[in-house]
Amino acid sequence: MEVRRPQHAARALGQRLAATLHVGRDGITAAVVEQAETQLRAQELIKVRMTENTPASRHETADELAGRTGAEVVQVLGRTALLYRGRVEESTIVLPT
């Protein structure tokens, strides 16, 4: 996210989320991407947990998953990443401009 206010708002919303997607020792697989796509279509903002066994660094893993799903990395904190992909129609999250 390029603008500070939307990023701050998304981070605030992400605090209350539980991690619903886990990336393990196999890294970003087709199943992980498919699950992320499903969750992003339903929720727009998801929290991803990466285990210690994840082959790439946590930032690389978050960037790769965001790139493969068309999402944006809002934040990487510890082994948790917050990803956002807004919907054009019927958006449930309205970020300030």
The whole-angstrom separation of Cα 59 and Cα 6 is 20
Structural domain including 43 reads: 4-84
| Domain presence at residue 93 | no
- pLDDT-based confidence at 94, cuts 50/70/90? low
Sheet holding 45-50, edge to edge: 21-23, 45-50, 80-84, 72-77
| Domain presence at residue 55 | yes
| Domain presence at residue 31 | yes
The whole-angstrom separation of Cα 80 and Cα 90 is 27
Number of domains in the chain: 1
CATH number where 42 lies: 3.30.110.60
Better-scored residue on pLDDT, 1 or 6: 6
| Domain presence at residue 94 | no
Q: Is the pLDDT of residue 56 over 50?
A: yes
- pLDDT-based confidence at 15, cuts 50/70/90? confident
pTM of the model: 0.85
- pLDDT-based confidence at 1, cuts 50/70/90? very low
| Domain presence at residue 22 | yes
pLDDT of residue 2: 47
| Domain presence at residue 92 | no
